[in-house]
Structure 1
Amino acid sequence: MTRLTSGVAMDAAHLPVPYEPVELDKAVSGAPLTRYLDLDESSGRTVGVWEHTPGVSRDVESDEVFVVLAGDGRIEFEEPALPPIELRPGSIVRLEEGMKTVWTVRTTLRKVYIAP
């Protein structure tokens, strides 16, 4: 794991890990790819960076708070029934474990997440 060190900056715009295809049962349209890098797993939480290329995919969420750094997309909620959220740089979102979502990514989405 690449580790975030106190007093040292990291470049969240360039992840040193390859993209992987979204699992077939989660891909809805297009051929989306994802990649992520956990940067810090201390104090009972994980901080990391995640990317999703253009396309549509389903997911069952974990508890997390994230900030969108780059890209354009939308999260729709299948369960619970909530209004969709438009994602753009600066968006801050909280997701709860078990939420069923559909991610529509128009431009590669990059976020920094914090999860318990």
Structure 2
Amino acid sequence: MLRLAAGAVTDAAGLALEHEPVPADQVVAGTPTTGYVPLDESEPGEIGVWEMSVGAMRDVEVDEVFVVLAGSATVEFEHVPSSGGPAAPIELAPGSVVRLEAGMRTIWTVREPIRKVFIAR
């Protein structure tokens, strides 16, 4: 099991992330790529760093809370399971804290590469 070292600092903003192209069936615009590195796996869930380049993609979310470290994006909610319908889009910028619900169908439109630290189950 991967664990963060107690009392140690991890530079989430400076971590090198290897990017891969977003699968064609998820691409909405451009040629977005994503990168990811896990930091910790434990009973409460997984902690990691995720990044997306400029472009737009569709996704189906898991239960997650994240904090944006860098970048600018809009997230549209096509479907929210708890309400049964869509929800208003949100704007992301450094410092944004967001909770996602498992099963949400989203469209991420990234204007400046976005990086977030997340906790997911």
Bin for the TM-score computed over the shorter chain = over 0.9
The question of whether the paired residues in 1 share the 8 Å contact of 2:64 and 2:118 is answered with yes
Superposition RMSD in Å: 1.4
Alignment coverage as a number of residue pairs: 116
Give 1:41 shift. 0.3
Would you say 1:35 and 2:40 are equivalent positions? no
C-alpha deviation, 1:4, in angstroms: 1.8
Distance in 2 between the 1:2 and 1:52 partners?
Answer: 23
Normalising by structure 1, we get a TM-score of 0.94
Unaligned runs of 5+ in 2: 81-85
Sequence identity of aligned pairs in percent? 56
Do 2:74 and 2:110's aligned partners in 1 also have CA atoms closer than 8 Å? yes
* Deviation (angstroms), 1:18: 1.1
* Residue 108 (1) aligns with residue 113 (2): yes
Where in structure 1 are there 5+ consecutive unaligned residues?
A: none
1:109 partner letter: I
Q: Which residue of 2 aligns with 1:60?
A: 60
Deviation beyond 4 Å, 4+ runs, structure 1: none
Letter in 1 for 2:98: V
TM-score (norm. length: structure 2): 0.90
